[in-house]
Amino acid sequence: MGCEGFVAGGFWVDDFVGVGSGKELDALAKGIDAKYGVTGLGEVRWILGMKVEHDRTERTISISQEAFIDSILACFNLADTAPTMTPLTPGTQLTKADCPTVQADRDEMAGTPYRQLVGALSGLALGTCPDVAFATSSLGRFGHNLGRVHREAAKCMLQHLKGTKGWRLVLGGKPAEVVGFTDADWGSDRDDRRSVGAYLFKIGGGAVSWKTKKQGCVALLSMEAE
């Protein structure tokens, strides 16, 4: 299906991006400028901290957050950390049993900017990094009572970002076939025995929607969890 006559726009506070065919997109931009005094900056290069690159030959658009990742690494003094390729060390299971139980240990962890880090990771998980969605969700459960194990897991996440910061989401260039993946573990959470489910959908080979979430009830069978 062609895009002739098609136009759409999205606002994020004071940022706006429009897509569509030439005449309609120009008319939309002129209408917004006339009403709100917003001047267009041409082809989008950056939006919400994400870098946007166009490949006219391959007919693709790629988005990445390498600059944001660099700023996170610098903020937590890990710009020179050794990179890894997995968000969490294989076999890692984060539980409440790793939370401090005495005040001295809580005081030791109090100065760790853990919640700020989880917030930054959430921005990546929602934006361009589906590979960190599960690990970010797991880390977010312990912001109220951080333990050493959770802090080390967060450091592992930053090392993963160091190793994969050049990765990009590439959209287009292939037939617009919709492909979905979904799976769930079974009772992996040792604290409440609930399962974690996840899904990812692609259009034309590019990821467009993903999510990981702990299920709301305890599944009695692996088939039920899935």
What would the pLDDT profile of 150-205 be if each residue is shown by its tens digit? 999 999 999 999 999 999 999 988 888 999 999 988 877 777 788 888 999 999 88
Question: How many angstroms separate the Cα of 97 from the Cα of each of 17, 155, 208?
Answer: 46, 19, 36
Spatial contact of 207 and 186, defined as CB atoms under 8 Å apart:
no
Q: Which residues contact 31 (CB under 8 A, 6 or more apart)?
A: none
* Burial of residue 153, with CB atoms counted within 10 A of its CB: 0-12 exposed, 13-18 middle, 19 or more buried: buried
Question: What is the average per-residue pLDDT within 15-33?
Answer: 80
Q: Is the pLDDT of residue 11 over 80?
A: no
Residue labelled with tokens 């139980």: 101
Q: Are 187 and 193 in contact (CB under 8 A)?
A: yes
* Residue whose tokens read 């970002």: 161
- Please tell me the pTM assigned to this model: 0.81
* Per-residue pLDDT at 5: 66
Question: What tokens were used for 48?
Answer: 């919400």
- For 31-90, write each residue's pLDDT tens digit: 888 887 777 777 888 888 899 999 989 989 999 999 999 999 999 999 999 999 999 888
Q: What is the pLDDT of residue 215?
A: 80
* Structure tokens that stand for 160 in this block: 């993963």
User: Which residues, 6 or more positions from 126, have their beta carbon under 8 angstroms from its beta carbon?
Assistant: none
**C-beta separation of 129 from 200 below 8 A:** no
Looking up tokens 């002739």, which residue turns up?
4
Q: Residue 4 — pLDDT band, cuts 50, 70, 90?
A: low
pLDDT at 1 over 90: no
pLDDT digits (tens, 9 = 90+) for 116-152: 999 999 999 999 999 999 999 999 989 889 999 999 9
List strands edge to edge, sheet with 196-203: 178-184, 196-203, 206-214
State the Cα angle at 13 between 18 and 129, rounded to 5°: 75
Q: Which residues contact 91 (CB under 8 A, 6 or more apart)?
A: none
